[in-house]
Amino acid sequence: MLEKNKRERIIALVNKEVVPAIGCTEPMAVALCTAKAATTLGKRPDRIEVLLSPNMLKNAMGVGIPGTGMIGLPIAVSLGALIGKPEYELEVLKDLTPDSLEQGKQYIKNAEINIKLKQGDVDKLYIEVSCYAGDAQATAIISGSHTNFVYAERNGEVVFDKRGGAAGDEADDDIQLNFPMVYEFATTAPLDEISFILKTKEYNMKAAELSIKGNYGHCLGKTMDRPLSHGIFGNNIFSHIISRTASACDARMGGAMIPVMSNSGSGNQGICATNPVVVYALENENTEEEMIRALMLSHLTAIYIKQSLGKLSALCGCVVASTGSSCGITYLMGGDYTRICNSVKNMVANLTGMICDGAKPSCALKISSGVSTALLSALLSMEGKCVTSAEGIVDDDVDKCIHNLTSIGADAMRATDDMVLDIMTHK
């Protein structure tokens, strides 16, 4: 068992990275930054300037905004200015009502909202919002993570300034993980210290249940539950895992006013790290302790991979979260450390090249591909089958294998990221 100080730092990291969010985290972060700028201004703005990093713009363009029936940033910015409360963080728009929605729609018509790319070298997750009312002006900046405010000023007077290393300093305070540490913590930490991770089950399985009652996104989850799908895929643990995971994603990307528990700034990653593990544990009749440890292993694996990949990248987040859920499922199957490492290697051998082309309803399709691969990788590892270091980017050392994956996603795929954004903005 890890020493208490190290366990406490890991728990703090998980509590920081696994948090509730309503809607896609990128437009919600833009709404949050707008709410901060408008609150700092102290009055209703008549003009709003929004500057975003390319990855932020990519992830916020095509996704539904919860409770609005609308897609994209203008309505998120409008509502952030009118009803957003910075203290709600990624649930910034949870006070939305039909009346305030109508005000938000009218505000888009009457106010001037300009959304542009931020020029220059900035963090991949960067949001700068300036609100104007007459001669008054206020600016707020988020950088590094979805709720990390690094700057605010009003009428030229600085309220706070944490730029020049604040986002990095915050990251430096986090414990730096490795896979043996992730495994040891998840499988040996006292149960009362880690049982809080069951909150992810409460949030994300409820999102799946509520999604089935509506028609969100491409209805992938509902489609997997229909007789035709059962005839093709079966009515079994596999199809149930795909359905419950895709359903929650359908609702979230389709703009349902349903909170989910996110992971590393992504609700889809939170769903993907949670629902496959929960469904497998319930249907395989694992104990609650086994479910708790599997969920912690899944979520902490995703957090670990994200430490070197970054919050936003050209690599689809479902690759990261599905790798976590594959580890969790392998554990529930009775897999030991070696077999869980082999599941990671099998995942890296399969899904490495999946690109992120923004948050949108079709994310449910990518999540389904990721979860399918997670199950296949777990089964192969339990059969003693593993992709070897003679093949592709897989390495015998699991940590090196993960870093091979993240170096491709964070560095080598930058040109891919630029091309994806260019295509998306010129359609």
Residues 115 and 76 occupy one common structural domain = yes
SS3 for 205-230 is HHHHHHHHCCCCCCCHHHHHCCHHHH
Range of the domain at 420: 175-426
Least Cα distance to 337 among 184, 196, 185 occurs for 184
Q: In the 8-state DSSP scheme, what is residue 315?
A: B
Q: Of the residues 161, 193, 214, which one is the last residue of a structural domain?
A: 161
Task: For residue 266, give the 3-state DSSP assignment.
Answer: strand
Residues 144 and 274 occupy one common structural domain = no
The per-type count for the chain, helices as H runs and strands as E runs, is 19, 10
Least Cα distance to 60 among 31, 27, 92 occurs for 27
Q: For residue range 369-381, list pLDDT tens digits in order.
A: 999 999 999 999 9
In whole angstroms, give the CA distance from residue 288 to residue 413. 40
Residues 223 and 79 occupy one common structural domain = no
In whole angstroms, give the CA distance from residue 117 to residue 197. 37
Tokens representing 172 are 């430096």
Cα atoms found within 13 Å of the Cα of residue 186, Cβ hemisphere only = 32
Grade residue 23 by pLDDT with cuts at 50, 70 and 90: confident
Residues 118 and 243 occupy one common structural domain = no
Question: Does residue 124 fall inside a structural domain?
Answer: yes
> What are residue 212's phi and psi, to 5 degrees?
-60, -25
Grade residue 186 by pLDDT with cuts at 50, 70 and 90: very high
| pLDDT tops 90 at residue 426 | no
Tell me how many domains the chain contains: 2
Q: For residue range 31-51, list pLDDT tens digits in order.
A: 999 999 999 999 999 999 999
- The residue whose two tokens read 């703090």 is 12
| pLDDT tops 90 at residue 169 | no
Q: What is the per-residue pLDDT for 359?
A: 86
Q: What is the per-residue pLDDT for 2?
A: 94
Residues 142 and 191 occupy one common structural domain = no
Q: What is the per-residue pLDDT for 167?
A: 41
Task: For residue 89, give the 3-state DSSP assignment.
Answer: helix
Let me know: does 290 contact 328? Beta carbons within 8 Å: no
Residues 232 and 152 occupy one common structural domain = no
β 259-261/20-22 pair status:
antiparallel
Question: Does residue 12 fall inside a structural domain?
Answer: no
Burial label for 60, CB within 10 Å (0-12, 13-18, 19+), is buried
Q: Which residues contact 254 (CB under 8 A, 6 or more apart)?
A: 64, 214, 216, 217, 361
Residues 137 and 194 occupy one common structural domain = no
Q: What is the per-residue pLDDT for 135?
A: 95
CATH code (residue 81)? 3.30.1330
CATH code (residue 216)? 1.10.4100
Question: Does residue 166 fall inside a structural domain?
Answer: no
In whole angstroms, give the CA distance from residue 249 to residue 364. 6
Q: For residue range 187-230, list pLDDT tens digits in order.
A: 999 999 999 999 999 999 999 999 988 899 999 999 999 999 99
Residues 231 and 254 occupy one common structural domain = yes
Question: Does residue 2 fall inside a structural domain?
Answer: no
Least Cα distance to 142 among 53, 15, 38 occurs for 53
Question: Does residue 188 fall inside a structural domain?
Answer: yes
Question: Does residue 393 fall inside a structural domain?
Answer: yes
Q: For residue range 237-281, list pLDDT tens digits in order.
A: 999 999 999 999 999 888 888 899 999 989 999 999 999 999 999
Q: Of the residues 94, 129, 161, which one is the last residue of a structural domain?
A: 161
Residue type, 34: T
Tokens representing 199 are 């909150």
Q: Which residues contact 427 (CB under 8 A, 6 or more apart)?
A: none
In whole angstroms, give the CA distance from residue 265 to residue 124. 13
Question: Does residue 168 fall inside a structural domain?
Answer: no
Percent of the chain at pLDDT > 90 equals: 82
Residues 152 and 237 occupy one common structural domain = no
The separation between CA 71 and the C-alpha centre of its own chain, rounded to angstroms, equals 18
